[in-house]
């Protein structure tokens, strides 16, 4: 009897070993990797082996409690770090940060998770296209739209990819510009303008249902983590960019930002923050756009900084839409009531309000256009 049990346990552990073994074969099967020829295959196998060594060394330190996050095999395990970095395509924004201080006297809650409040769509997958900036932009629009209109919609990254002329499609873009495009042209839902992982010709959306507009973007004061916490705690999911060079092998835990810089190259969405009870560390809860099979089911966590400036440049160019509207905002001179917190403003129609001056200008404009 004991013998049979032993044999059974032996086979179960053998099976577990086979399933969890980090072999290149398993990796290829799991992530459906196909290589063009044999030399490419050999090259990828070598890179994979090197990465695996790094992952195992890191995880040994993790088990000793020396680091706070785990590494593992994921879809990027056959890339060199240079190749991975080339895939990260958020650009540094040349736009003014447009600092806006939240004048709210409210303090943000100790913790928040906008997923629990229904303001976050499913994790999406940008695929091989460097469109993180578009996913970060839709993320903050989706969250704030849900807060204002009570409906969670998934907006179109493809429209941003095709139509935001300030971006270079899959070779990168800037969330602030994307939000300015949405101020000008509005954005459709993803179902009506679906994601195809490459930049195509911009579709004319003139006769179509455009779901969301904003007025502009609001920038969080640079390098002020307290201000980012206020925005995430009181407004909703906020777009953030950071230096992602070192998260290639991240699989779980709280990324501690060791060795990263403030040179941002990847845009994601801050959907909350909390304190890890075991280690008493505050962390950001970040939604990535690399599919459900990356990180903690598509998400990752990163510690707050000790100096309050944010790690890896995470508060360098954070932003969110300046108001959420379902029709184009013509007036932007009259927004005194409309701080970034406009999503929670008590005047929901503020965006549709057109001042007398603007009416006069509009009528004059029409008259002039038709040469009356
Ligand atoms: C294999 O594919 C790689 C990548 O496309 C290419 O650079 C290389 O020349 C190919 N090698 C052979 C032997 O065909
Ligand atoms: C889109 O179509 C409308 C009318 O159908 C036209 O007036 C407009 O110029 C078009 N826009 C672009 C960018 O082609
Ligand atoms: C928009 O609708 C008008 C009138 O129905 C039509 O003439 C025009 O071609 C449409 N434009 C586009 C871009 O579909
Ligand atoms: C961040 O902004 C707050 C105002 O909300 C200010 O009191 C604080 O000094 C700023 N912190 C840093 C690190 O600049
Ligand atoms: C940080 O950089 C140092 C020096 O280059 C290196 O020894 C160390 O392994 C790096 N740590 C991580 C987590 O990348
Ligand atoms: C947790 O950290 C905070 C600030 O870093 C500190 O004030 C607090 O005393 C710590 N709590 C525990 C239980 O260690």
Residue identified by tokens 């923050």 is 273
**pLDDT tens for each residue of 136-168:** 999 999 999 999 999 999 999 999 999 999 888
Supply φ then ψ for residue 301, to 5 degrees.
-125, 145
d(CA 26, CA 14): 15
Supply φ then ψ for residue 267, to 5 degrees.
-105, 135
Q: Whose CA is nearest to atom 4 of ligand 2?
A: 206
**pLDDT tens for each residue of 203-218:** 988 778 888 999 999 9
If phi > 0 it is left, if psi is from -120 to 50 it is alpha, else beta; for residue 197 that is left
Task: Catalogue all structural domains in the chain, each as residue range(s) with its CATH number.
Answer: 86-321 (3.90.70.10)
Best probe residue, ligand 2, of 206, 207, 369 (max atoms within 8 Å of C-beta): 206
Q: Six-digit token pair at 160?
A: 């941003």
Statement: the pTM of the whole predicted model exceeds 0.85: no
Using the predicted structure, report yes or no on whether residue 338 has a pLDDT greater than 60: no
Nearby residues of 190 by Cβ (< 8 Å), 6 or more positions away: 138, 154, 155, 156, 157, 158
Active site members: 132, 266, 288
DSSP string across 191-227: GGS---SS--PPP--TTS---BB-S-EEEPPTT-HHH
Best probe residue, ligand 1, of 37, 41, 42 (max atoms within 8 Å of C-beta): 37
Please state the atom number of ligand 4 nearest to the C-alpha of residue 308.
Answer: 13
**pLDDT tens for each residue of 17-38:** 454 567 999 999 999 999 999 9
Cα of 164 from ligand 1 centre, angstroms: 35
């Amino acid at each position: 009897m004991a013998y049979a049990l032993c044999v059974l346990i032996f086979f179960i552990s053998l099976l577990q070993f086979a399933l969890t073994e980090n072999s290149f074969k398993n990796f290829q099967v799991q992530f459906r990797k196909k290589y063009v020829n044999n030399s490419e295959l050999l090259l990828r196998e070598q890179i994979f082996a090197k990465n695996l060594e790094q992952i195992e060394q890191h995880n040994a330190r993790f088990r000793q409690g020396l680091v706070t996050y785990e590494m593992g095999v994921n879809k990027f395990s056959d890339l060199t770090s240079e190749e991975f970095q080339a895939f990260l395509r958020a650009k540094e924004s040349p736009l003014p940060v447009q600092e806006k201080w939240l004048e709210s006297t409210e303090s943000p809650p100790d913790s928040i998770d906008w997923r629990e409040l229904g303001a976050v769509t499913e994790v999406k997958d940008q695929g091989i296209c460097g469109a993180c900036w578009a996913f970060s932009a839709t993320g903050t629009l989706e969250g704030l739209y849900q807060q204002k209109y009570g409906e969670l919609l998934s907006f179109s990254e493809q429209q941003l990819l095709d139509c935001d002329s300030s971006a270079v499609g899959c070779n990168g873009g800037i969330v602030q510009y994307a939000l300015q495009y949405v101020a000008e042209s509005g954005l459709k839902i993803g179902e009506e303008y679906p994601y195809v992982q490459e930049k195509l010709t911009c579709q004319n959306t003139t006769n179509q249902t455009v779901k969301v507009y904003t007025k502009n973007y609001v920038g969080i004061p640079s390098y002020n983590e307290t201000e980012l916490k206020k925005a995430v705690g009181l407004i909703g999911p906020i777009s953030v960019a950071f230096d992602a060079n070192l998260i290639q092998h991240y699989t779980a835990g709280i990324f501690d930002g060791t060795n990263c810089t403030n040179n941002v190259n990847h845009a994601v969405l801050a959907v909350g923050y909390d304190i890890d009870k075991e280690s008493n560390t505050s962390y950001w809860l970040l939604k990535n756009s690399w599919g459900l099979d990356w990180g903690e089911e598509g998400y990752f966590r990163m510690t707050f900084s000790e100096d309050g400036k944010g790690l890896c440049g995470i508060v360098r160019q954070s932003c969110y839409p300046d108001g959420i509207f379902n029709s184009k905002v013509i007036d932007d001179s009259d927004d005194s009531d409309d701080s970034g917190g406009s999503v929670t403003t008590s005047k929901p129609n503020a965006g549709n309000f057109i001042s007398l001056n603007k009416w006069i200008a509009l009528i004059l404009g029409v008259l002039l256009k038709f040469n009356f």
